[in-house]
Amino acid sequence: MLAPAGGLPRHPSGRSGELFIISAPSGAGKTTLRQAALTRLPDLSYSVSFTTRPPRTGERNGYDYTFISADEFEAGIRDERWAEWARVHSHYYGTSAKVLEQARAAGRDVLLDIDVQGAQQICRRFPESVTIFIMPPSLEVLEQRLRARGTDRPETIEVRLRNARHEMDQRHGYRHVIVNDDLDTAIEALMAILNSYRSTREN
């Protein structure tokens, strides 16, 4: 998890941290892969998004999301404080550009879990970002996974599948694509990508 903005010193080596962006359609296993990476790489920071929606049961401020008012978020839009932002179902979601800039200046690598549109916004501001797209083996398998979760109504699943088709069409804009057919294999592929950039920078 990233520290709050402010007060991060510049890394003595002058090296900037890496920004790793993971995107995937719902049900592709992105959350599981993200958690595996954060567990295996304890020095890898996770970018906590800001939102104006109310916390859900069990969510912790500053851990699941940083919860702020709509007025504060809109002030951030005017001041160009967001590296990416979107309005979804009447609530704002965004990533602080200042937090990312300060983490990178301190030499800290940051992992972001962002959708395709958000990834495009981040890359316009930080074009050196390492982008990774997680693919399901097929739309048929993705549909099976979504229905097996038992958490969405049929019409919601149809919306998720339509969105998945659009998101998967954007995969060619990513530096790396991982097909999550076998979870262990996909985790190893993700770790190999992350470690390749981290080791190159350290050398």
Q: Model pTM?
A: 0.84
Residues 6+ apart with CB under 8 A from 92: 50, 51, 52, 70, 73, 74, 85, 86
Task: Assign 150 a pLDDT band (cuts: 50, 70, 90).
Answer: confident
Share of the chain above pLDDT 70, in %: 92
Which domains can be identified in the chain, with CATH numbers? 18-44+109-203 (3.40.50.300), 48-107 (3.30.63.10)
Is residue 38 pLDDT above 80, yes or no?
A: yes
Can you tell me the mean pLDDT for 194-198?
A: 95
Is residue 89 pLDDT above 80, yes or no?
A: no
Residues 6+ apart with CB under 8 A from 165: 139
Task: Assign 81 a pLDDT band (cuts: 50, 70, 90).
Answer: very high
Q: What is the pLDDT of residue 74?
A: 98
